[in-house]
Amino acid sequence: MFVDIHCHLSFPEFDKDRSDVIKRLTEEGVGLLIDPGVDVASSKKSIALARDFDFIYANVGLHPHEATLPVEESVFEELLTLARSPKVVAIGEIGLDYHYPEHNRPAQQEAFREMLKMARSLDMPVVIHCRDAWEDMLRILSEESNSAMRGVMHCFSGDTLIAGECLRKGFKLSIPGTVTYKRSLLPDVIRAVSLDDLLTETDAPYLSPVPYRGKRNEPAWVSAVTTAIARIRDIPLKEAAEGIAKNSVKLFRLPN
Ligand SMILES: [Zn+2]
Ligand SMILES: [Zn+2]
């Protein structure tokens, strides 16, 4: 069984052919999919999709691109209520994204801290988005999290040193389709850590793996990510897929 722990299947990009996409992922052997929210409206859609399919779970989150100042109390109250819905298994996606300078960094940090507190109060794992912001990310995690903090760095983009820091803080690393790109640092990371520390995702509709680059990504293609991990670690595909499925069930406390 393949696992896509981070796929925006509820996004409008899939409105026209969602049932075909679901058919293809089932045929490919994807047996578990987690659909993250990026704000209140999309978190509601994630929850609704999870309600319709046994193998789909939801996350409730606030993407750093959606963070504004002043922080609106009502947004967090609504997210907290949504996070208590059935089949919500984590708070995400949340985090920091410094790639585009126009996005307000203090607002991102404030929202991120608020969402970490929410995850702690609900005893839920967190799904973290971090782009070009590792220093602040690791600092805020140290300040806000306690030893019981669990979660995953989704779409992991750091090097082996950053990977080590994340693992020491209790986080897993989720490998996206970029692992198949020529200049990716991920093969070194995948060799340096234990299989127990790895998860897989597509982040569809974004970041299609080779040979689908440039097309809309879709969850069936998480098989290409798992295949890449098996090849890099020089283990059978079945062993990689089973290990990653086990890690996912454990982190998100899913029924076996
Ligand atoms: Zn993300
Ligand atoms: Zn995402």
Cα(7) to centroid(ligand 2), Å: 7
Q: Please write the tens of the pLDDT for every residue from 33-72.
A: 999 999 999 999 999 999 999 999 999 999 999 998 777 8
Q: Please write the tens of the pLDDT for every residue from 118-131.
A: 999 999 999 999 99
Residue 143 pLDDT: 93
Q: Please write the tens of the pLDDT for every residue from 175-216.
A: 999 999 999 999 999 999 999 999 999 999 999 999 999 999
| pLDDT more than 90, % of the chain | 92
Domain boundaries, the chain: 2-251
Find where tokens 């076996």 sit.
256
Q: Which ligand is nearest to the CA of 202?
A: 2
Instruction: Name the nearest CA neighbour of 111 among 125, 97, 131, 132.
Output: 97
Residues near ligand 2 ion, CB 5 Å cutoff = 203
Cα(53) to centroid(ligand 1), Å: 23
Cα(148) to centroid(ligand 1), Å: 23
Cα(78) to centroid(ligand 2), Å: 20
Task: Quote the CA–CA distance of 61 and 34 in Å, as a whole number.
Answer: 13
- Give the contacts of 209 (CB within 8 A, at least 6 positions apart): 176, 177, 178, 179, 180, 202, 217, 221, 224, 225, 228
CATH of domain 2-251: 3.20.20.140
Cα(8) to centroid(ligand 2), Å: 6
Confidence (pTM)? 0.97
